[in-house]
C-alpha cells in the first residue's frame, strides 16, 4: 500500500498519507459534569422547558461538557487525567471521566 502511494503524484500522495494518518487516530472523550449536590440552575431551566413542551418523563436535567480530543492511542490517559483535573474540570464543583473511542 505504502509503496503504491510513493508512485502517485505529490498532491495526491500527500492527501492519501494524511488520510492514512487520520484513520489511525482515535478520540479521547473527557466528560465533565457537576458533582452531585451542586445546584445546576441551567439544568433546572432546561427541565422546566421540557415540561413546557408537554413531556413529563424527565425528573432531573444536569448540564455537563464533553471535550473531544484526537489522540494516537490510550497511552495518554495519565496525562489526560492531569489535564482534566487541573484545567478541564474545577474539582471543587465538578468531576470528570475519560473514554476512548476508535
Partner 1 sequence: MKAGVVVFPGSNCDHDCYHVLKHVIGAETVFLWHKDTDLQGVDLVVFPGGFSYGDYLRCGAIAKFSPIVSEVIKFAENGGHVLGICNGFQVLTESGLLPGALMRNRGLKFKCEYVNLRVDNSDTPYTNMYADGEVIRIPIAHADGNYYIDEEGMKELEENNQIVFRYCDDNGTAEDDSNPNGSLGNIAGIINKKGNVLGMMPHPERCAEGIMETRDGYFLFESIAKFIGGCK
Residues that bind partner 1 (CB under 8 A): 38-39, 41-42, 45, 87-88, 90, 92-93
Please report how close the Cβ of residue 88 comes to partner 1 at its closest, in angstroms.
7
Residue whose CB is less far from partner 1, 12 or 93: 93
Q: Is 71 left (phi over 0), alpha (psi -120 to 50) or beta?
A: beta
Q: CA angle at residue 9 from 7 to 15, to 5 degrees? A: 100
How far from the centroid of its chain's Cα atoms is residue 44's Cα? 24
Residue whose CB is less far from partner 1, 25 or 49: 49
Copy the grid coordinates of residue 99. Answer: 473514554
> 62, 63, 67: which is closest to 85 by C-alpha?
67
Residue whose CB is less far from partner 1, 87 or 102: 87
Please report how close the Cβ of residue 47 comes to partner 1 at its closest, in angstroms.
13
Please report how close the Cβ of residue 66 comes to partner 1 at its closest, in angstroms.
13
Phi, psi (rounded to 5 degrees) for 24: -80, -10
| Rounded Cα distance, 55 and 58, in Å | 7
Please report how close the Cβ of residue 37 comes to partner 1 at its closest, in angstroms.
9
Residue whose CB is less far from partner 1, 71 or 88: 88
Amino acid at each position: 500500500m505504502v509503496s503504491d502511494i510513493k508512485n502517485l503524484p505529490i498532491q495526491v500522495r500527500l492527501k492519501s498519507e494524511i488520510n492514512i494518518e487520520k484513520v489511525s487516530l482515535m478520540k479521547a472523550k473527557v466528560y465533565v459534569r457537576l458533582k452531585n449536590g451542586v445546584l445546576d440552575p441551567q439544568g433546572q431551566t432546561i427541565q422546566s422547558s421540557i415540561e413546557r413542551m408537554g413531556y413529563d418523563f424527565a425528573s432531573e436535567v444536569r448540564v455537563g461538557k464533553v471535550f473531544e480530543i484526537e489522540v494516537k492511542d490510550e497511552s495518554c490517559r495519565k496525562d489526560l487525567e492531569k489535564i482534566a483535573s487541573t484545567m478541564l474540570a474545577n474539582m471543587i464543583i465538578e468531576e470528570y471521566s475519560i473514554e476512548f473511542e476508535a
